[in-house]
Amino acid sequence: MTNFATTSIMPLLARIVIAAAMLTSGWVNCFSQIEINSAMADGLRSMQVKVVTQVVTAEVNDTTELVGSEATDESEVSKPTKAGSDTTRGVNRIVWLIHDKWPNLGGWGVFIAWTAAVAQLVAGVLLFVGLFTRLAALAICLATGMAIYIIAGLMHGMFSMNPFEWPLDSHRFIQLFAGAGLFTLSLGLLFGGPGSVSIDAKHAKSSVAEEK
């Protein structure tokens, strides 16, 4: 039972978890629009990357006082106000991060960002079915390792902090260890293989049978 769990169940669960994370992240990066802050929007515009500004009109009640000779009366007047939010394709967030840290890369930053986004989708599909598992796991190790280095290391400076201060910012703390968890699971698949419930395992068995 233990052998079956370690050689079949655990690799399968690891593949499903990593595949779900990579497929959803890759889909958002490649096809979805995400909301970004003004600094990122300005940076992307300076790089001539498309940013969409959505203007939302809202009704705001403004209370004005009308002062009379004997009494003060209040009336509410509705005034339209406009609030804008900037959005861009998810992959452009990676483009901005790379350009912000390595501006000399130029157009290579866009190429690297798109490569990472497409690799997430492809690796997610391959891991889900257990095909070319070690290659897909290697790609995810590289992607998650680079993401941890850029976001946790360079952006947030967490590796120069006291580790006991990490939990004080729960968002950065969870972000760091979510990436570290995916990296560790992928590393396990890279060295341990896809498990018996996979196309790779079936292909290996059929190859051995043919040799006999």
Torsion of CA 161, 167, 168, 169, to 10 degrees: 90
Task: Identify which of 146, 127, 129, 132 has the alpha carbon closest to the alpha carbon of residue 186.
Answer: 127
**pLDDT values of the chain reduced to their tens digit, one per residue, 212 residues:** 558 778 889 999 999 999 999 999 999 999 999 999 998 999 999 988 999 987 765 555 554 443 444 444 444 444 554 456 899 999 999 999 998 888 888 889 899 999 999 999 999 999 999 999 999 999 999 999 999 998 999 888 999 999 999 999 999 999 999 999 999 999 999 999 998 889 998 888 777 776 76
Residues 57 and 130 in one domain: no
Residues 22 and 71 in one domain: no
3-state DSSP helix/strand/coil percent for the chain, to nearest 5? 70, 20, 15
In a domain, 210, yes or no: no
In a domain, 203, yes or no: no
Residues 73 and 131 in one domain: no
Q: What does the H/E/C string look like for 53-113?
A: EEEEEEEEEEEEEEECCCCEEEEEEEEEEEEEEEEEECHHHHHHHHHHHCHHHCHHHHHHH
Residues 82 and 158 in one domain: no
Give the structural domain span for 68.
53-87
Residues 149 and 72 in one domain: no
Residues 97 and 24 in one domain: yes
pTM: 0.79
Q: How many domains does the chain have?
A: 2
Residue matched to tokens 């003004």: 38
Residues 141 and 157 in one domain: yes
